[in-house]
Amino acid sequence: MRCLWLPVIVALSGCSWVDQVSERLDRSGVDLSSQQIADLPYASAYAQWQGMPNALVVLAYVEQPYHQYPSSKTYKWVSQDKGMIVTQAGRITKTIGMAGADLSSLYASTPDPLALGLHLASTPKDWSYSIDWARGRFDGVKANSSFVRLGEHDGVQEWKEVVNLSIDKQLTNLFWVDSATGRVVRSQQQPVPDLPSIEFKVVKGFKGK
Amino acid sequence: MRVILSIFLFLSAQSFASSIAYIKPGARVGDVLQYVAVSSSHKSAPYWRASYMRYTMPDEVFEAQRDFLVSRLGEQSEISKRLRLVSMNRRIMMPLDLDFVRLDIKNNPLIDKPVQLVINIKPDDVYLLSDASWSSLPFEAATIAGDIVPTKTKTDSVYVISPSGDVQFHGVAAFNSSKQFVPRGALIYVPSHKLTALQNQQVAQLMANGGWL
């Protein structure tokens, strides 16, 4: 099977790639030492659903985005049980394998403040976007979000995003942002209303272009 | 690679929104979807929930059903006109989201017969079909069928057919109004009084199979 011929796929791609990655992962709860993280052959992250053990997810694909905005590259992280979390500029924009409650798509007509850099005074602290969920036929739900800075410790700013949805629901996300670069280093995000948040932390970053 | 390069995309005669790729056997579904994905700009990005594969030849059972239904409805019925327009090739019911397909080899079968890949972009409308009319309305989030079907329509239930091929029956009267939302790009089919319940169900299934975008 030939798989590595498309220029936009920066990371490894392929039909057996996810299978190979999945075999190396353990979903039963992971807490790696610094040396173990250094030894990891792939860019990796911890994903933790509220009350569940840490799961290690591995970066399987880095691709160009589908939508005009968010315009950041899409990072596609896979778990041992073949779930997927897609992130763009640190925001979870798609999930697969979340027990029928997946976030299908997130799109906007203006840039995500996370992509512009929340650390910059010039970055708008409000954003409007649309969300599709797989469950309940929630297509095109309008979301209006506002960011509030909660504090700063050790060169990391903590931001809270409150998202008001057109279906009379609310989401709350927390982002920890590098004060110098604006890069999201850790987050606690609620992709679907009324369901637990996902804590997401990159433990070994992607070194590619 | 040769298989991938043998894909030809062109606009279908039925709709400006749909493109059809003819795929020769030998490729995996994921390879084909990946080719389509990277060939698309964000304006023409495939909407996977409304995209599907189907066989290249019409299904004789479907054609016979359609002809019978049209004979009951009459050629002037809007339902008949739509049944004449939609494809009678059998749709292959499998989710085509590229990420879902390539996550697991079980979701990524080898294509062993010639098939057509119907690619739709994200629809902005929902559609309403009855004996008397065919119309489109702008899609709005969190809308129920009862909000879309005109109040003068003499029916208490309609079929809501999602672009993914899922068919549901929704109440639209005050006493049975469904709380389920209508998905983007859905077809709302108002059952015809000229047909039995089973025949109306067949209309809904034929529309779900053939697509309307």
Interchain contact, A67 vs B31, CB within 8 Å: no
Write down all domains in chain B, each with its CATH number in brackets.
1-51+96-122 (no CATH), 59-87+123-213 (3.10.560.10)
**B120-140 residue pLDDT tens:** 998 999 999 999 999 999 999
Residue of B nearest to A64 (CA): B38
Sign, CA dihedral B163-B48-A84-B28, equals: positive
The answer to whether residue A209 sits within a structural domain is: no
The ipTM assigned to this model is 0.82
The answer to whether residue A183 sits within a structural domain is: yes
Q: Is A136 on the interface with B (CB under 8 A)?
A: yes
Domain that holds residue A159: 17-204
Which of the residues A18, A61, A66 would you substitute to probe the B interface, choosing the one with the greatest number of B C-beta atoms within 10 Å?
Answer: A66
Calpha distance B175→B168 (Å, rounded): 18
Taking the CA of residue B76 and the nearest CA in chain A, the distance in Å comes to: 34
Interchain contact, B139 vs A66, CB within 8 Å: no
Record the tokens describing residue B125, joined without a space.
Answer: 């409308």
Taking the CA of residue B104 and the nearest CA in chain A, the distance in Å comes to: 7
CB-CB neighbors (< 8 A) of B37 in chain A: 66
Question: How far is the CA of A123 from the CAs of A30, A77, A108, A118, in angstroms?
Answer: 36, 27, 16, 6
Q: Give the domain CATH number at A132.
A: 2.40.360.10
pLDDT higher than 80, residue A15: no
Question: How far is the CA of A117 from the CAs of A45, A51, A89, in angstroms?
Answer: 21, 30, 9
Record the tokens describing residue B137, joined without a space.
Answer: 């309305």
CB-CB neighbors (< 8 A) of B31 in chain A: 1, 3, 15
The answer to whether residue A10 sits within a structural domain is: no
> Which is nearest to B38 in space by CA: A179, A6, A42?
A6
Interchain contact, A139 vs B181, CB within 8 Å: yes
Taking the CA of residue A124 and the nearest CA in chain B, the distance in Å comes to: 24
The answer to whether residue A49 sits within a structural domain is: yes
**A131-176 residue pLDDT tens:** 998 866 788 999 999 999 999 999 999 999 999 999 899 999 999 9
**A95-135 residue pLDDT tens:** 998 876 899 999 999 999 999 999 999 999 999 999 998 86
The answer to whether residue A157 sits within a structural domain is: yes
With cut-offs at 50, 70 and 90, classify the pLDDT of residue A11. very low
The answer to whether residue A1 sits within a structural domain is: no
Residue of A nearest to B48 (CA): A104
User: Which ranges of chain B have pLDDT less than 70?
Assistant: 1-17, 42
The answer to whether residue A12 sits within a structural domain is: no
The answer to whether residue A47 sits within a structural domain is: yes
Residue ranges of the alpha helices (H) in B116-162? 145-148
Beta strands per DSSP E along chain B: 8-11, 18-23, 52-58, 89-92, 115-120, 125-129, 134-138, 157-161, 167-171, 187-189
- Structural domain total, chain A: 1
A 88-107 residues inside an 8 A Cβ radius of B = 94, 96-97, 104
